[in-house]
């Protein structure tokens, strides 16, 4: 991927085509294109993504999920990107169900084995009416960090409110936060690429121990009291 345009992948977890989440992600895409990078979009509503099944072996199996749907292809597109933006609305005071199902299946079924998203740059957009945006944002932050991604600070988080009946981008502060986030994501992506081009080495190690691998037992040494 070195030498090509940076790729930012936006993943929309909204059921509503043309809604506030789609508008926010389209705006992020315009910002990416203005910087000369490539922006790709996945609308989860357009894909067949099964909820986790009752097989119950997710914590013990050593191979990816065997449910037959669009998840493997989506995960491959995530692996190809330099940065990923999760964009989702607040539904029922929590994360919209499409994104919830997606992060569960992606994480448990595919990403936990080798953590292929490690050192990719991550960003989050949350849209809502007036409640629980921060709670949803925090959940997605935890998901990015679990996958060893780089979450760039951009001041206030990109939480966009719209209390009107029609979809529109009317939250000035939210849009400013979105702009800062996108530009800092691109800046970080370019910094990582420059370092790797100059040194041939990734900025951060990729051999971090997977938390699913059991640690060897350690003997606890009793504390020694010294005068």
Which tops the pLDDT comparison, 212 or 204?
Answer: 204
DSSP letter for 46, please. Answer: G
State yes or no: pLDDT of 206 exceeds 90: no
In this predicted structure, the answer to whether residue 79 has a pLDDT above a threshold of 50 is yes
pLDDT at 147 over 50: yes
Whether residue 163 lies inside any domain: the answer is: yes
Residue 30 lies in a domain: yes
User: Highest mean pLDDT range out of 93-102, 103-112, 149-158?
Assistant: 93-102
Q: In the structure, what pLDDT confidence band is assigned to residue 223 with cuts at 50, 70 and 90?
A: low
Per-residue model confidence (pLDDT) at position 226: 56
**109: CATH:** 3.40.50.360
In a domain, 217, yes or no: no
Q: Would 98 be classed as within a structural domain?
A: yes
% residues pLDDT > 70 (the chain)? 89
Return mean pLDDT, the chain: 90
Question: What pLDDT does residue 1 have?
Answer: 46
Residue 176 inside a domain? The answer is yes
H-only helix segments in the chain? 20-34, 71-80, 97-106, 133-146, 172-199
Mean per-residue pLDDT, 41-58: 88
Q: Are 182 and 31 in contact (CB under 8 A)?
A: yes
For residue 78, tell me if it sits in a domain.
yes
* Overall number of domains in the chain: 1
Percent of the chain clearing pLDDT 90 (strictly above): 69
Least confident stretch, 28-37, 65-74, 93-102, 127-136: 65-74
Q: Which band of pLDDT confidence, cut at 50, 70 and 90, is reported for residue 227?
A: low
Predicted local confidence at residue 213, as pLDDT: 63
Provide mean pLDDT across the span 187-212.
81
- How far is the C-alpha of 123 from the C-alpha of 134, rounded, in Å? 14
User: Does 222 fall in a domain?
Assistant: no
Give the residue-averaged pLDDT of 37-49: 97
Q: How are the residues of the chain apportioned to helix, strand and coil, as percentages rounded to the nearest 5?
A: 35, 15, 45
Among residues 178, 121, 183, 110, which one has the least CA distance to residue 149?
Answer: 121
Q: Is the model's pLDDT at 109 over the cut of 60?
A: yes
Instruction: Give me the domain span that covers residue 62.
Output: 7-199
Q: Please report whether residue 218 resides in a domain.
A: no
For residues 102 and 58, is the Cβ–Cβ distance under 8 A? no
Question: In this predicted model, what pLDDT tens digit does every residue of 168-178 receive, in sequence order?
Answer: 999 999 999 99
pTM: predicted TM-score of the whole model, two decimal places: 0.89
């Amino acid at each position: 991927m070195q030498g090509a345009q940076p790729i930012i992948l936006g993943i929309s977890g909204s059921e509503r085509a043309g809604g506030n989440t789609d508008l926010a992600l389209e705006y992020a895409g315009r910002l990416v294109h203005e910087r000369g990078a490539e922006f790709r979009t996945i609308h989860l509503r357009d894909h067949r993504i099964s909820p986790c099944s009752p097989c119950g072996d997710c914590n013990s199996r050593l191979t990816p999920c065997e449910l037959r749907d669009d998840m493997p292809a989506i995960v491959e597109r995530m692996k190809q990107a330099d940065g990923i933006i999760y964009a989702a609305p607040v539904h029922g005071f929590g994360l919209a169900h499409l994104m919830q199902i997606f992060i569960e299946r992606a994480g448990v079924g595919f990403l936990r084995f080798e953590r292929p998203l490690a050192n990719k740059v991550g960003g989050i957009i949350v849209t809502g009416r007036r409640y629980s945006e921060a709670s949803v944002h925090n959940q997605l932050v935890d998901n990015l960090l679990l996958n060893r991604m780089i979450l760039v600070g951009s001041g206030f988080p990109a939480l966009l409110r719209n209390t009107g009946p029609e979809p529109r981008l009317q939250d000035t502060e939210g849009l400013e936060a979105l702009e800062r986030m996108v530009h800092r994501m691109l800046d970080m992506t370019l910094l990582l690429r420059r370092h790797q081009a100059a040194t041939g080495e990734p900025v951060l190690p990729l051999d971090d121990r997977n938390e699913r691998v059991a640690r060897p037992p350690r003997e606890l040494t009793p504390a020694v009291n010294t005068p």
